[in-house]
């Protein structure tokens, strides 16, 4: 079990520390030139998570679990601090104290939710209190379906209006993932009665189809942006960022489906 704890901890930190680092970069791009203090803070967080990401690759699955537990606690505190910074920025935007900022309020709220997710995951790992499989399936899908719906909205608003076909595709994905999110929240409110294996299996199958379609759309958009073949104000790193998060969701669905099959086989 200690090997599983170490490998899961490192996997979470390697993925999410890079995401947090990139959030700092995107926030900095959206600040006005006169927002020098906010730019300085964003740069500091970029450096913090860049170092965390670097250090995470110096460990391996054979590392002492107690060392990883201390590393998790350190990274958890960094995640809590960047969450507070993002919420501060969101408050400034909503109070109209950053007029002309290019950071959408929903985007700042979105990235703060991801920081909170990262912080909570490290707390769960260190406490050894990971959710039972049925609860985890529902909660992870509620979280990631909203993330995917947000991505579609951001893409639609950052594409040039003349890219009508791509804008329409993004809008359709936004609507589709909003509906999937509503279904997931309905399932959440029906716990524990909704936690039968066939129901959860069907739930994952349905989400997998939609997530795979979104992954394909994001991959195409990323390649077109990198090749300068579509008109947008989407930074190439942002295109790659949202693509990696969609792939992460797909891999989580794969893991859950594998675990459900193992549970079903054990009951036979």
pLDDT in tens, 210-260: 999 999 999 999 999 999 999 999 999 999 999 999 999 999 999 999 999
Count of positions (residues) in the chain: 268
Confidence bin at 1 (pLDDT 50/70/90): low
Confidence bin at 166 (pLDDT 50/70/90): very high
Rounded Cα distance between 29 and 217, Å, is 25
Closest by CA to 201, choosing from 152, 245, 248, 256, is: 256
Q: What is the pLDDT of residues 198-211, one digit of tens each?
A: 899 999 999 999 99
Asked whether the beta carbons of 167 and 161 are under 8 A apart, the reply is yes
Tell me the β-bridge partners of 159: 232
Mean per-residue pLDDT, 47-60: 98
Closest by CA to 109, choosing from 79, 81, 89, 139, is: 89
Report pLDDT for 64: 96
Q: Give the pair of three-digit tokens for residue 212.
A: 């795979």
Closest by CA to 236, choosing from 43, 26, 54, is: 26
Residue 232 backbone phi and psi in degrees, to 5:
-165, 175
Which pTM value belongs to this model? Answer: 0.95
Q: What is the pLDDT of residues 151-162, one digit of tens each?
A: 999 999 999 999
Inter-axis angle of helices 105-127 and 65-94, nearest 10: 160
Q: What is the pLDDT of residues 77-124, one digit of tens each?
A: 999 999 999 999 999 999 999 999 999 999 999 999 999 999 999 999
Confidence bin at 14 (pLDDT 50/70/90): very high
Rounded Cα distance between 29 and 108, Å, is 13
């Amino acid at each position: 079990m200690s090997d599983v704890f170490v490998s899961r901890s490192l996997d979470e930190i390697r993925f999410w520390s890079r995401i947090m680092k990139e959030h700092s970069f995107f926030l900095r791009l959206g600040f006005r030139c006169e927002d020098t203090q906010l730019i300085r803070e964003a740069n500091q967080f970029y450096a913090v998570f860049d170092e965390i990401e670097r250090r995470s690759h110096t460990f391996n699955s054979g590392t002492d679990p107690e060392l990883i537990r201390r590393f998790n606690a350190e990274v958890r505190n960094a995640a809590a601090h960047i969450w507070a910074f993002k919420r501060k920025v969101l408050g400034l935007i909503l109070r109209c104290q950053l007029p002309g900022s290019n950071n959408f309020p929903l985007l700042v709220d979105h990235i703060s939710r991801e920081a909170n997710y990262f912080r909570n995951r490290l707390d769960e790992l260190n406490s050894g209190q990971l959710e039972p499989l049925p609860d985890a399936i529902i909660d992870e899908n509620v979280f990631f379906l909203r993330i995917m719906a947000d991505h579609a909205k951001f893409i639609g608003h950052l594409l040039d209006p003349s890219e009508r076909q791509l804008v329409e595709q993004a809008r359709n994905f936004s609507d589709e993932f909003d509906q999937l999110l509503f279904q997931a929240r309905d399932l959440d409110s029906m716990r524990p009665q909704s936690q039968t294996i066939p129901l959860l299996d069907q739930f994952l199958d349905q989400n997998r189809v939609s997530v795979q379609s979104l992954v394909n759309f994001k991959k195409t958009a990323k390649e077109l942006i990198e090749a300068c073949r579509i008109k947008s104000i989407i930074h190439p790193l942002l295109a790659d960022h949202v693509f990696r998060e969609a792939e992460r969701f797909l891999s989580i669905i794969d893991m859950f489906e594998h675990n459900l099959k193992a549970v079903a086989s054990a009951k036979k």
